[in-house]
Amino acid sequence: MLWWKSSPADTSLTSIFSCDPYLKTRVGGKGSGKNHRRHDIEGTVEEFFNAMPMLGDDPFVDRVLNTSSHFCNGNFVGYAGLFAKLLNVVVDISYGTGRKGGEHLSEVLHQPETKEFYTYKTGFFQLPCSERVQYPFMGDSQHLNAWMGNGLQTNLNTFSSASIKHSDFAIAITRYEYVNFYHTMTDFYNVFLMLKLFQIQPGDATILWIDGHPKGGLDATWRTLFGKVYRVSKLKKTVQFKNMVWSIVGYESPLDNHRLPSVPYLEEFRQFFLSQHRISLKYESNCDKLNILIIWRHNYVAHPRNPTGSVSRKIKNEDELLKKISESFPTHNVKGIQIDALPMQKQLEIIARTDILIGMHGAGLSHTLFLPRHSGLVEMFPAYYTSKNRHFRAMACWRNLLYSSWENKDYLREFFNKSTNVDQNEVAKQVLKIKRIMCKRSN
């Protein structure tokens, strides 16, 4: 991927480098975009999950497949300190305490976040063996270590203690920032990765939310992607799951490790996500009429801890920016929208046909994952938020998209309502630069 970034003293576009600045590899413009001439191919969901993951697919996959630890007569297998697979596990929710979850937001305003997470007593999870299992999970895997240390019991009589036997492959997760599109995207991707690694079709899996969050705006997307999604509080009796995965924590997702050189199966994830929303993957750019999209950040109430709905990193001069881009590209389709105000399917319909995406650093730029393969991203940063936050630059890099950024260095452009008067002239120049490179590649 080619990327360029302005220096603090000069907002002009002067350098083009490899997408990974740590490689320090200079690349030329000629022939550098061969991969961008590929077009997406329609496929069935089954194709994503039937192929056996192989060594050499990706460094992350290699690490997982090469690092497994077996306990409890094979009923517990840990992988690289990130996730685990359990066989014949019984879940008994009488050994856990926490809110049921699913409440309307108005019912739980000002609710402390701690009330939305479960606490566990030994016996919440039960495995059929006499061996004590001790397996440490790495990094930010707090709830996995709590499941292991506080909730897991080994018991030879586990089989007889279950009231219901569940035949689906279960994926157990605890969500943290459950209404934030970026952080929820890491959970979506992690579940996709679990299905891929264990070759399970979405229709044959049950997603089990082990948390007590209220109803959120992304709940419906979970069900569109994976079908059967349940809150643990809905388990009325003790349930035995023949197969269960304790999934990777969102904060430990490959998507959240922005210095990785690659992320496994990312294009397959894009195809899966769009296909599950019935969005066509067949789109080719027309350099005489590109689709250029600016996404706005507006205040909205999403969770109990922010009842005013205040958000930062808004654009103060939206009308001026939209006018400038429209005037700079008079024959093209230029739109500005608050994309998170739309249903997910409509968001994806727009994104899957967007050639150049423009927006302030924020969760909505997670849609970079679903842009067409030839596309480009212009990311903007206010003065109070550093461009060292690589979330979306990394996504563009992993997908070989064009990337550019504008960072405000003038505090007179910042306003008390957390909005920024962006330099529309400079942003327009960056969009033009992306257009020129993109269209040169397509010839």
At 429 the pLDDT is: 96
Q: What is the pTM (predicted TM-score) of this model?
A: 0.90
Nearest to 247 by CA among 187, 300, 295, 164: 187
Vertex 221: Cα angle to 217 and 227 (nearest 5): 135
- The answer on pLDDT for 159 being more than 90 is no
Q: Pick the closest to residue 278 from 337, 225, 228 (CA basis).
A: 225
Determine contact, residues 340/181, Cβ cutoff 8 Å: yes
- Portion of the chain with pLDDT greater than 70, in percent: 88
Query: How many angstroms separate the CA atoms of 172 and 207, rounded?
Result: 6
Q: What angle do CA 339, 248, 84 make, to 5 degrees?
A: 155
Which CA distances in Å does 261 have to 59, 194, 257, 264, 302? 9, 21, 10, 10, 33
The single residue listed with the structure tokens 């050994």 is 95
Provide the pLDDT for residue 165. 80
Q: Is 324 helix (H, G, I), strand (E, B) or coil?
A: helix
Higher pLDDT, 301 or 208: 208
- The pLDDT of 54-78, averaged and rounded, is 89
Angle at 209 between CA 204 and CA 212, to 5 degrees: 160
Average per-residue pLDDT in the chain?
88
Which residue matches tokens 């192929």? Answer: 51
For residue range 235-277, list pLDDT tens digits in order. Answer: 988 999 999 999 999 999 999 999 999 999 999 999 999 999 9
Token representation of residue 117: 């997470």
Question: How much is the pLDDT for 141?
Answer: 83
HSE value, Cβ hemisphere, 13 Å, CA-based, for 145: 8
pLDDT at 143 over 80: yes
Q: What is the DSSP letter of 29?
A: S
Measured distance CA(39)–CA(257) in Å, rounded: 27
Q: Is 241 exposed, middle or buried (0-12, 13-18, 19+ CB in 10 A)?
A: buried
CA angle 160, 165, 169 (to 5 degrees): 130
Q: What's the pLDDT at 21?
A: 40
pLDDT in tens, 342-382: 999 999 999 999 999 999 999 999 999 999 999 999 999 99
SS3 at position 417: coil
